[in-house]
Amino acid sequence: MLEKGNRGLLQFITSSQEKLRVLVVESCIYLPDLRELIPYGDLYAVTADADIPELPEYKGLNIHWSVLDFREVPLPYEKEFFDYILAERCLENAVNPQDIASGFGNYIKQTGSLLTTFLNVRHWEIIQELMEGHFYHICTHIFSKSEMMRLLFASFYKDAVFAPERRYAPDGLIAKLETCGFENYQDDLETEVWMVKAARSMPEIAVLKSFYTPLVRRKLVTLLRRIEFTIDCPQNIAALWEHCDEQQIFPAYLASFIQETVTYRGTLYRLLWQATAETERQIMMEELLQEAEKIETVEIIRKELLSLSAAASVKLVSQSNVHTYVPCVDKTSSNGKVAFITCVNNETLYEEALLYLRHLVLPPGMQAEYIGIRNAVSMAAGYNEGMHQTDARYKVYLHQDTLLVNKNFITDMLVLFSEKNIGAFGVIGCRKLPKSGVWWDGMRIYGRVLHACEAESIADTKCMEPTETYAEVEAIDGLLMATQYDLPWREDLFTGWHFYEISQCKELERKGYKTVIPQQPNFWCIHLPKEKALAPSYKKYQKIFLKEYGEELNPEI
C-alpha cells in the first residue's frame, strides 16, 4: 500500500462505482488502494516475478494476474480493453520506449489513458552528478518533460497532463545552475519524477466517443462529410435524419460532433436548413442550430446561413470559394482522358473514395475511368499494372483512403499540365529531400491535407503555401500523385509499400521533368489513414532508396 498522503498516479483516477478495467504493470503497490478507489472494477496485473501474486497484501483483492515480462512478451488481452493502464517507470528500461508506449496504447480504450512516471533528466541531482563527472543511468532512458511529450504524441496519444514529484536542492544550488544557463521553469530543476496521464483522445473527443458505438459514429461522420461536399445531398440528408432517429442522436451531441468533424460548418448548416425548411424536420433543425450557436457564436452561424460571397477568380479554378463548385470550361484542354488508379485491399474505403471521384466535374471533351488494382504485391507493381490497363494520358495515383474533394480537380490538373515540363504534382511534399530521404524531415514542406485519422475529429495539416500557382518540390507524399508522362514505377527496387512515390519523383527528375505542389487556399484532399507506427520494412526501403538516389540528394542547410 502507498505511504499515507501519497496518492501517486492514483491522483489521475476518480473514485468510481463503475466497473472500470484497469491494468497495473509492475506497479503492484497500487493494487490495495486502487481496489478501494474502484471497488467494483476489474483489476488486472502484470509482473515478471511469480512470487508477487502470492503475497498476503494482495489476497482477497480479486486480481487477474499474468506473470510475464511486458518488454518481451505481448500482453494477453483484447485490443482497446482497458480504461487505464498504470505502469510506473515503464519506459526507462525498454529498448525502444516508443514501442512500449504505442504498444500499451493498443490495449487502452479510445476514452482511456496511460498513467506512468519517468525520471526527470533535468533534476538538480542528475546535473550535479554530471558536473562531478558521474552518470548513473547508462542502462536506462531518462527524459525531459518536452521529450516525453514528443514520445507520447508520436505514440498516438492525443493529450498529456503532467504532475511533479519534487525533491528540493541544497541551498544555493538552483541559483548556481540558473547562473550557468539552466532555466527553472515551474521548478523543473527540483522535479525529480514526472507523473503523467496520457490520454488516447482529447477531452472533448473522448466525450463524443463515450456516446454511441464506433460504427454509429463512423456512419454519422460519413453522412456529414458527404453533405458538406455536396455529394448526393438529398439522399444523404434524408439518411442523416434517419440515422439520428434510429440511434437517438440528440441535437446537442450532433452539434458538438459537427464542431469537431466538419470543416465548412456554415455550408453544412445552410444545406441542412434549406433541405428542412417547411418540413417536419424544421423543429429539429432549429434545435440543432440553437445548440450550434452555443458552440460557434450566433454571428458565425447566421452569417454562413444567410449568404456565401463569391470569391474573385484566380489562376486555378478550385481557388474560388470552396462552397461554389460550378462546371467550367478549360480552354487549355483537348479531347483526353484521365485515369484514377488505386491499389485496393479494403472495398469499403475504396467505394467511398470512388463516390467522390465520380462527383468531380468533367470539362468538355474529357473522359474519366477508375481502375482498382486488387492483390497487388507492392504499390509500384500495382501502379505499373494500372498504368498498362489504360490509354489515358493523365493518370492520378491515389490511396484508397483518400477523398478528393476539390470538384474542379481535373480542370486544375489540366491548367498545371499545360506546362509540359511538369511531370507530376501532389498535395504535400518537400522542397528538397534531406539526407535521410524522408520527405517530412525536409526543411521546407509545402502543401495541405486534411487528416481524419478517427471518425470524431479532423485536422488541417497546412504547411507552406506556394507564392505562385505552384512550388517545385523534390518529393511528394503518395496519398495522391498525378502524372502526364508514363515512366515505369521501380517495382524492381520497391517491392513493398514505402518510398515508391519518392522514387517516381526522382525518376521524373532524371528525365528532366518537374514535380510540383499547387496552391491550395482550400484543401483538395481528405486523408483517412489509421494511426500506426512505421512498419519495420520502412527502414529497408529507405536504405534501398538512399543506395539508388542518395548521391543525387542536395539537402537544404
| Residue range 68-79: mean pLDDT, rounded | 95
Instruction: Using CB atoms within 10 Å of the CB of residue 179, give its burial: 0 to 12 exposed, 13 to 18 middle, 19+ buried.
Output: exposed
The mean per-residue pLDDT over the stretch 426-446 comes to 95
Please report which helix (H) or strand (E) contains residue 295, including its range: helix 282-296
In sequence order, the 6+-apart residues with CB closer than 8 A to the CB of 496 are: 378, 379, 535, 537, 540, 541
Residue 139: what pLDDT?
79
Give the pLDDT confidence score for residue 315 in this predicted structure.
44
Cβ burial, residue 132 (10 Å; 0-12/13-18/19+): exposed
CATH number of 8-200: 3.40.50.150
Give residue-wise pLDDT tens across range 165-180: 999 999 999 999 999 9
pLDDT, tens only, 295-305: 875 565 666 55
Q: Do domains 8-200 and 327-552 have the same CATH topology?
A: no
Q: Point out the least confidently predicted range of 333-342, 365-374, 482-491, 547-556.
A: 333-342
Residue in this structure with the C-alpha cell 514505402, named with its chain if needed: 498
pLDDT digits (tens, 9 = 90+) for 317-348: 444 333 333 333 343 444 489 999 999 999 99
- What 3-state DSSP class applies to 26? coil
Q: Grid coordinates representing 234?
A: 438529398
Give the DSSP letter string of 205-239: HHHHHTSS-HHHHHHHHHHHHHHHTTSSHHHHHHH
Residues found in the chain = 557
CB neighbours (10 Å) of residue 267?
21
The rounded distance, in Å, linking the Cα atoms of 380 and 103 is 30
Per mean pLDDT, which range of 26-40, 313-327, 368-382 is the poorest? 313-327
Give yes or no for residue 274 having a pLDDT over 80: yes
**Mean pLDDT, residues 522-526 taken together:** 95
- Indicate the pTM of the whole model: 0.82
**pLDDT of 156 over the 50 cut:** yes
Domain boundaries, the chain: 8-200, 210-306, 327-552
Is 233 a residue whose pLDDT tops 60?
yes
pLDDT tens, 387-408? 999 999 999 999 999 999 999 9
Measured between alpha carbons, how far is 46 from 53 in angstroms, rounded to an integer?
10
Residue 301, Cβ neighbours under 10 Å: how many?
21
Average pLDDT over residues 415-423: 96
Residues in contact with 338: Cβ distance below 8 Å, sequence separation at least 6, in sequence order: 366, 367, 368, 369, 392, 393, 394, 395, 396, 410, 413
Q: What is the pLDDT of residue 383?
A: 98
**Alpha carbon distance 385, 382 (integer Å):** 5
Q: Specify the pLDDT at position 277.
A: 81
How many Å apart are CA 339 and CA 369, to the nearest integer?
Answer: 5
327-552 under CATH 3.90.550.10, yes or no? yes
Handedness of CA 45, 51, 52, 58 (dihedral sign): positive
- CB atoms near residue 477 (< 10 Å): 22
Give strand pairing partners of 342.
Answer: 372
Confidence at residue 324, expressed as pLDDT on a 0 to 100 scale: 34
Mean pLDDT of the chain: 90
pLDDT score of 77? 97
The angle at the Cα of 207, spanning 205 to 213, to the nearest 5 degrees, equals 90
